Structure 1
Amino acid sequence: MQIRHSHVILDTCFLINFSASGHLIEILQSIPARVFVTETVREKELLTLPNLKDEENAIQFHQAIEQKILLVVDFESEAEEELFVNYAYEIGDDGESATGAIATDDKKATSVFKREAPHLQILSTLEIVKSWSEKINLSPSELRILLSDIRVKGRYQPPKNHPLLSWWENVMK
């Protein structure tokens, strides 16, 4: 996986999926860029989600922030906030709107950002997990368990048109 940007902003679904894998910190550390989450995602979504109420996931999430593996950013101007509100209205979800610029699995957010900001690279959960698993040479059985956890605990299923769907299906056999 090649990232063309120095910064990657993750949305809620990424953090849920990475937490579900049990390897949040390791996966975040494998991303070859500075990794951010917006204050909107941290405060309004992640801290209220059942997935992060699990003590282990909450600890990993907070450790990632404390260790500055995951940085929290907020809007710096009224113009940024207005842009966010417009995207939120069109997409229908605050978390995807605040972070959809680079890393989202949300179909609607992806569509809006491809149209409105075609210069941005959009990453998927599978791209990042595949890259990480190859870097650490994860065994096929460990990878199957990890993807199973993401599917069940994170409630993630790649869309039928995802470029890595065949990789997912082969691992899950």
Structure 2
Amino acid sequence: MDWKIAIYVYKNEVLSIFNHEKNEKEKIILAPYVTKNLIEIVSPTDDEIDEMVYFVSQNLDDGEAYTLSIGKNRNWYIATDDKAALNQLTRINFTKILTTPEIIKKWTENDNVSDSQIKLCLQNIQINGKFRPPKNSLLYTWWNGKVN
């Protein structure tokens, strides 16, 4: 899977994550992944910027708006857990969506990840990312079975 990040998100949003064990923010450094071509930074076209403004008017934050606009216009998969973004994608009948549980489950299946590694990963997401799948997620039971 090719990973792409809107330049706005790269420069303004993917900066740090709070490490609860150390009680401090840790810097997120994506540059090595960009250098190795594992992540591509993408800039919006003029039309995508126009659509981004529309998404902002629909109460999405700038990062989600850029992501949705670029992904939709280029027919790429969009990875998000943001409820407002998911609602917008549903409203416009865009179905190429990946959520955190789907990404993690795919990773565990493709890379033969041990149960202890999965549990640690999910716990880190829950604690540091402050994310748990909603109860209506198709992978809610899978997630809870792995994390407990």
Q: Same fold (TM over 0.5)?
A: yes
Partner of 1:72: 41
Cα separation, 1, equivalents of 2:11 and 2:141: 35
Identity value in percent? 30
Q: Select the structure that is richer in strand.
A: 2
Deviations 1:48-101 (A, max 9, x none): x3459625x42xx11111111100111121x22111011012133111111134
Cα separation, 2, equivalents of 1:81 and 1:91: 16
Aligned ranges for residues 128-139 of structure 1 at < 5 Å? 128-139=103-114
Partner of 2:84: 108
Q: Does the alignment pair 1:150 with 2:118?
A: no
Question: Secondary structure at the residue paired with 2:96?
Answer: coil
Q: Does the alignment pair 1:94 with 2:62?
A: yes
Aligned residues: 135
Q: Which runs of 5+ in 2 are unaligned?
A: 20-24, 72-77
Question: Secondary structure at the residue paired with 1:163?
Answer: coil
Q: CA contact under 8 A between 2:59 and 2:84: conserved in structure 1?
A: yes
Q: Could you tell me how far 1:40 is from its partner in structure 2?
A: 1.0
Q: Could you tell me how far 1:137 is from its partner in structure 2?
A: 1.3
Question: Secondary structure at the residue paired with 1:91?
Answer: coil
Cα separation, 2, equivalents of 1:46 and 1:96: 12
Runs of 4 or more consecutive aligned structure 1 residues displaced over 3 Å after TM superposition:
49-53
Q: Select the structure that is richer in helix.
A: 1
Q: CA RMSD in A?
A: 1.8
Cα separation, 1, equivalents of 2:114 and 2:37: 29
Q: Could you tell me how far 1:120 is from its partner in structure 2?
A: 3.7
